[in-house]
Structure 1
Amino acid sequence: MTLTRLRLPKSLRLSERRSLSMQLMLVGIVITVSFIIVALLASTFQAWGWLQDPTASLINPIHEPPGGKYWFGTNRQGYDVFSRTLFGSQAALQVVILATTLSLIIGVPLGLVSGYLGGNLDRALLFLMDTIYTLPGFLLSVTLAFVVGRGVLNAAIALSISYIPQYFRVVRNHTTSVKNELFIEAAQAMGASTKTVLSRYLFLNVIQSVPVIFTLNAADAILLLGGLGFLGLGLPEQTPEWGHDLRQALDALPTGIWWTALFPGLAMTLMVVGLSLVGEGLSEFINPRWRREN
């Protein structure tokens, strides 16, 4: 007697997968929105006296453990770890939103123009983007950070360069596959200009994947910014930033001072997980994939 494997209907299995994806995306949205709210209200909380000044030493330079007056303890400079962790979300969001937006507004138009016009311009842009894409993103960001210096805008520029090819490649590939469709040919036959075809007919048909790239790049940018801060680059020295605080906590870890590294590291991890879940959920929702089940 042979045993047969129980198989669920394919439609049910797909429904379960999409349900799980939606649940995970909702978790990611909750985490991401929570960090956004904290970042937006951190300065207000400080003005109301609910948060300490993250750049002011509150006690003598000594590690105060978590509890009592200092929920997350203090670091060796006497700064309140709780306040610096919350304000770190503000710095992260400022840099990440700027970086991903800059790469989007450069990469998407270049991909549209390159895919639609083709020719020498397409080949030149492909060569340039492929060259950037082959470079390790972190090393490229570190090099650019040395060149442009510290600051929110400078850090965003240093991070954004490595993301431009991702928008370019996706948009260009979609454009080359759509530009020969009948509705594009009809618009051209009616005398529509290149600008009109790109903005009115092609843009909305190739933009679907951009939100997915945006959220996943935002998650990656948080890690890159943390790496720059860990190396002493990116933002000014006293700015509350998770990577910088982790670097300051490194020397204290061997002596058992764990809280100065735990809370900034946990905040960075949660924000990356939240954005990654949103990106993966959007990918499943926009482009649901049928998988063969054995």
Structure 2
Amino acid sequence: MAVSKFRLSHWYQAAQNASLDQKMMVVGLAITLTFVAIALFAPLFEAIGLLQDPTTFLDNQTQQPPSWQHWFGTDRLGHDVFSRTLYGSQVALQVVILATFLSMGTGVPLGLISGYLGGRLDKILLFFMDTIYTLPGLLLSITLAFVVGKGVFNAAIALSISYIPQYYRVVRNQTVSVKTELFVEAAQAMGASRWTVLSRYLLLNVIQSVPVLFTLNAADAILVLGGLGFLGLGLPAEVPEWGHDLRQALPALPTGVWWTNLFPGFAMTLMVVGLSMLGEGLNRLFGEPS
């Protein structure tokens, strides 16, 4: 018992001494990991009977309020809102992770090469990236969604384009600063190849801001994905996606059917808050991206 009390007091004292940034990161990480766990285990919950198929139409059970049988109620088509809300986290993570990795995998190498080589290539890339950066992200995603069509991969492409300039600008600016350091000049004087300088001496010194951008862009991408779904773009109608479900629920809201709006909207908001808190905590820990 004494050991247990000691451990509890130790953890309590550590929590009291933790800074606001650390607490923000922990809370944001906990929320994010909760949604990741829901996304991973949703098929298992369905297999053991805790969840219903989110695409199944329940006969004579449309717009039923929350109950023991349907915890979040049903929508106007007879879908179980609880199942669609949980599966919505899976769809959101699939699209958002794919979109952020696509933008990161494009923007980081371009920024690294542009900042290191400079010259005409740097000017051309900087012009194109600044042009994309000035366009509103949601408007650009809507336009691209019309062009590429619906689907998980297509939605990820539509989201990723607007985030590439952010990775490019941060990595490029830090590369321009770091490449003049003595250890980089020493490596070049000793005959290190460009690839060695880029991968061993520059990349590891400019990559620290990327996790911050990744989490903040992921939070923004969830909102943009929800906006595309609300407009009827991005993903097919049968896919459980929070923005699409909010669009379908909107006409029923004046009639008192509140649950079809509340739960998908709350899930989207909570996930965005969790990722934003995690990103802001990392931002304050590692410093503001340049």
Q: TM-score, normalised by structure 1?
A: 0.91
Letter in 2 for 1:21: D
- The 1:20/1:72 distance shift into structure 2, 3 A limit, reads same
Q: Please give the secondary structure, in 1, of the residue aligned with 2:208.
A: coil
Asked whether the 8 Å contact 2:142–2:158 carries over to 1, the reply is yes
1:147 and 1:86 mapped to 2: Cα distance? Answer: 29
1:94 equivalent to 2:85? Answer no
1:245 equivalent to 2:245? Answer yes
Asked whether the 8 Å contact 1:18–1:285 carries over to 2, the reply is no
- The 1:17/1:177 distance shift into structure 2, 3 A limit, reads farther
Alignment of 1:157-168 (within 5 A): 157-168=157-168
Partner of 1:113: 113
1:119 and 1:26 mapped to 2: Cα distance? Answer: 43
Partner of 1:175: 175
Shift of 1:59: 2.8
Q: Please give the secondary structure, in 2, of the residue aligned with 1:208.
A: helix
Shift of 1:24: 1.4
Higher mean alpha-carbon deviation, 23-32 vs 210-219, is at 23-32
Letter in 2 for 1:145: A
Shift of 1:61: 5.8
Q: Please give the secondary structure, in 2, of the residue aligned with 1:252.
A: helix
Q: Please give the secondary structure, in 1, of the residue aligned with 2:275.
A: helix
1:151 and 1:243 mapped to 2: Cα distance? Answer: 14
1:192 and 1:207 mapped to 2: Cα distance? Answer: 20
Alignment of 1:225-236 (within 5 A): 225-236=225-236
Stretches of structure 1 lacking an aligned partner (at least 5 in a row): 1-15, 290-294
1:145 and 1:288 mapped to 2: Cα distance? Answer: 31
Residues 19-52 of structure 1: CA distance to partner in whole angstroms, max 9, x if unpaired?
0111111111110000000000001111111100
Shift of 1:287: 2.1
Partner of 1:25: 25
2:61 and 2:145 mapped to 1: Cα distance? Answer: 30
Q: Please give the secondary structure, in 1, of the residue aligned with 2:232.
A: coil
1:288 and 1:148 mapped to 2: Cα distance? Answer: 34
- Write 1 or 2 for the structure with the bigger share of helix: 2
Runs of 4+ more than 3 Å apart: none
- The 1:118/1:39 distance shift into structure 2, 3 A limit, reads same
Letter in 2 for 1:102: L
Asked whether the 8 Å contact 1:18–1:284 carries over to 2, the reply is no
Stretches of structure 2 lacking an aligned partner (at least 5 in a row): 1-15
Alignment of 1:69-218 (within 5 A): 69-218=69-218
Residues 60-111 of structure 1: CA distance to partner in whole angstroms, max 9, x if unpaired?
2621001120100000000000000000000000000000000000000000
1:244 and 1:251 mapped to 2: Cα distance? Answer: 13
1:83 and 1:61 mapped to 2: Cα distance? Answer: 15
Shift of 1:17: 10
Task: Report the number of matched residues.
Answer: 274
2:77 and 2:183 mapped to 1: Cα distance? Answer: 64
Residues 226-260 of structure 1: CA distance to partner in whole angstroms, max 9, x if unpaired?
00000111111100000000000010001110000
Q: Please give the secondary structure, in 1, of the residue aligned with 2:164.
A: helix
2:27 and 2:258 mapped to 1: Cα distance? Answer: 28
Asked whether the 8 Å contact 1:222–1:272 carries over to 2, the reply is yes
